[in-house]
């Protein structure tokens, strides 16, 4: 099952400061969560993120799990080269019912990382092998991305943004879920809105969507 975790406001601990840690941090950097790296050494990119205060750093070598216990994280990602330490962290997290991921042990982890094809942070498509072959995930992502760029257009992105605005307003004005669904389908299939989006007049398309909702009976 592929799910999208809502990490907003959560405390994430990343153990390790190398390239694997960098990759995992990058995947959650825009999730509005608190990211703390625990490592005695960090690479250049992680150092830069610390410097501009996108993430925090606790500079120390993990020899025991006391520091993690004190921090009470919501999620732990361990990326060290020490398999014994990684396994200790997995065992610790599972006992405390904390979500955990280990880059060298996807089978014991609570989740796996999919390769994500991202369209303006509005449409995301996951290529997932369940941790069996990250390399093949990347290869398939590269092949799929080229094909999907011909299918998913800028107009689709704009329509999604209009739908987001419309859903919010519809919840305030239209009383039932069934009616809201009908209204939003009308907006999505409105030829005038489609044409305005194609002409690059997104604000006018938004205005027409709002008018449709306000006049809905």
The arithmetic mean of pLDDT across residues 89-114, rounded, is: 89
pTM: 0.76
pLDDT at site 198: 95
Residue of 182, 214, 179, 210 whose CA lies nearest to 196: 210
* CA atoms of 216 and 170, how far apart (whole Å): 9
**pLDDT for 32-68, tens place per residue?**
999 999 999 999 999 999 999 999 999 998 877 888 8
pLDDT at site 115: 83
Pair 34, 56: CB distance under 8 Å: yes
Share of residues in the chain with pLDDT > 90 (%): 71
The arithmetic mean of pLDDT across residues 118-125, rounded, is: 89
**pLDDT for 151-207, tens place per residue?**
999 999 999 999 999 999 999 999 999 999 999 999 999 999 999 999 999 999 999
Q: How far is CA 48 from CA 25, 44, 58, 151, 165, in A?
A: 12, 6, 15, 37, 36
* CA atoms of 102 and 162, how far apart (whole Å): 39
Domain boundaries, the chain: 11-113, 115-149, 154-214
Phi, psi of 215 (to 5 degrees): -90, 0
The arithmetic mean of pLDDT across residues 61-85, rounded, is: 89
Options 3.10.580.10, 1.10.3720.10, 3.40.50.300, 3.40.50.720; CATH of 11-113? 3.40.50.720
pLDDT at site 130: 73
Residues in the chain: 217
Question: Got the DSSP string for 151-176?
Answer: TS-HHHHHHHHHHHHHHHHHHHH--S
Residue of 79, 77, 82, 85 whose CA lies nearest to 101: 77
Confidence class for position 1, pLDDT limits 50, 70, 90: low
Share of residues in the chain with pLDDT > 70 (%): 99
| 135 compared with 180, residue with greater pLDDT | 180
Pair 210, 183: CB distance under 8 Å: no
């Amino acid at each position: 099952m592929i799910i999208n975790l809502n990490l907003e406001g959560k405390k994430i601990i990343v153990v390790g400061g190398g390239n694997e840690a960098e990759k995992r941090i990058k995947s959650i950097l825009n999730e509005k969560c608190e990211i703390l790296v625990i490592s005695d050494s960090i690479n250049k990119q992680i150092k830069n993120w610390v410097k501009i205060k996108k993430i925090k750093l606790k500079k120390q070598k993990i020899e025991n799990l006391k520091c993690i216990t004190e921090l009470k994280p919501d999620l732990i990602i361990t990326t060290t080269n020490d398999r014994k330490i990684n396994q200790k962290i997995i065992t610790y997290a599972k006992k405390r019912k904390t979500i955990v991921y280990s880059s060298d042990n996807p089978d014991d982890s609570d989740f796996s990382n999919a390769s994500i094809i991202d369209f303006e942070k509005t449409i995301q498509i996951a290529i997932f092998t369940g941790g069996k072959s990250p390399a093949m995930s990347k290869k398939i992502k590269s092949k799929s991305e080229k094909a999907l760029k011909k299918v998913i257009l800028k107009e689709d992105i704009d329509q999604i943004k209009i739908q987001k605005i419309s859903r919010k307003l519809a919840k305030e004005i239209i009383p039932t879920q069934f009616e809201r669904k009908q209204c939003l389908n009308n907006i999505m299939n409105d030829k005038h809105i489609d044409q305005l989006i194609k002409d690059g007049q997104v604000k006018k398309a938004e205005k027409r969507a709002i008018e449709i909702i306000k006049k809905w009976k």
